[in-house]
Amino acid sequence: MKKTSLVIMAAGIGSRFGGGIKQLEPLGPNGEVIMEYSIHDALEAGFNKVVFIIRKEMEDYFKEVVGDKISGICEVAYAYQNIDDLPAGFTNPPERKKPWGTGQAVLATKGIVTEPFMVINADDYYGKEAFKTVHDFLVNDQAEIAQYNFCMAGFILKNTLSDNGGVTRGVCEVNADNYLTKVVETSDIVKTATGAGVAKDGEVSPLDPEAYVSMNMWGLTPDFIDVLEGGFVEFLSNPDLNQLKGEYLLPSVIGGLVEDGKASVKVLPTNDKWFGVTYGEDKYAVKEEFLKLQANGTYPKTLY
């Protein structure tokens, strides 16, 4: 069986969550955290290695809550995202508190991930369909036909919104063959009476609720990690970079490759409904969703 990895970004700091480590918040009927459902779905789809990207200071607690459960059923590895882990010649501003974003997170897996991989957020529930479609893309060698031939699970915008405030999504433009042509990282997207819109300065500009969005669920090849390495130097060298809040983001890196004609990204449609914990208030709805999924037989009473 071809080796494929599930890479889970779990090192972020949830500034809007309101306390605690949201990636490790118990939300399932038996205290499961969201990423346990993602791992279950990924293993079911055929992935056979799990790589956790965490902060080093979380390691013991992380292994207690999640890692040790998984290590008995598949290969497990850890990568560590460190705010100070920067290329030679760069230093972290003393006032900066957050890591440098999802691009830096995946870059931390260099030397650990050497096979086709899917990357996801730890605090998002994606549903089963996307894991299967991305895995099929990777193992059917589509990712090896040409360099930087990637895929992305395309979620429908209206299925990814929070009832408790604005969210950030990579709003996608695709061509007639369902290949990504552009991705625009868009913040403060809210639910509206007509579907969705962007809130700014007290006004809401409408967005197409049927548009594809990126939920950071990408199917990638290991050579992309080398791209991230070089791109991080360029990012940090930008004189207009906000040193305190700027983030090196996967959608921006991949979108740039697409616009420059250096990569192709097949958008794989999924109709599954996303849910997650952007805000502390989201956890109550998430608990209800997991109860329903267990009750209807989507998941067994015990995941592992």
pLDDT per position as a tens digit, 230-248 = 999 999 999 999 999 999 9
- Separation in Å, CA 137 to CA 69, 115, 133, 289: 28, 13, 6, 29
Give the tens place of pLDDT for each residue, 7-52. 999 986 544 433 457 788 899 999 999 999 999 999 999 999 999 9
Q: With contact defined as beta carbons under 8 Å apart, do 215 and 270 qualify? A: no
User: How far apart are alpha carbons 139 and 42 in whole angstroms?
Assistant: 13
Mean pLDDT of 171-181: 95
Query: Which pLDDT value is given to residue 185?
Result: 83
Query: Per mean pLDDT, which range of 35-39, 44-48, 96-100, 130-134 is the poorest?
Result: 96-100
Average pLDDT, the chain: 91
Residue 132 in tokens: 């299967």
* pTM, full prediction: 0.92
Domains in the chain, number:
1
User: How far apart are alpha carbons 34 and 277 in whole angstroms?
Assistant: 9
Kindly state whether residue 304 falls inside one of the protein's structural domains.
no
Kindly state whether residue 110 falls inside one of the protein's structural domains.
yes
| 3-class secondary-structure state, position 18 | coil
Kindly state whether residue 66 falls inside one of the protein's structural domains.
yes
Instruction: Write the CATH number for 102.
Output: 3.90.550.10
Kindly state whether residue 302 falls inside one of the protein's structural domains.
no
Query: Which pLDDT value is given to residue 26?
Result: 92
Kindly state whether residue 31 falls inside one of the protein's structural domains.
yes
Which residues are registered as beta bridge partners of 185?
Answer: 170
Query: Which pLDDT value is given to residue 257?
Result: 94
Mean pLDDT of 277-296: 90
Kindly state whether residue 303 falls inside one of the protein's structural domains.
no
Q: Treating both helix axes as pointing N-terminal to C-terminal, what angle do 223-237 and 250-259 enclose, rounded to 10 degrees? A: 100
Kindly state whether residue 64 falls inside one of the protein's structural domains.
yes
- Separation in Å, CA 217 to CA 8, 42, 54, 253: 10, 12, 17, 14
- Name the band, by pLDDT with cuts 50, 70 and 90, for residue 282: confident
Amino acid sitting at position 39: I
Which residues are registered as beta bridge partners of 275?
Answer: 125
Query: Which pLDDT value is given to residue 165?
Result: 87
Mean pLDDT of 69-95: 94
Kindly state whether residue 301 falls inside one of the protein's structural domains.
no
Domain extent, residue 228, equals 5-295
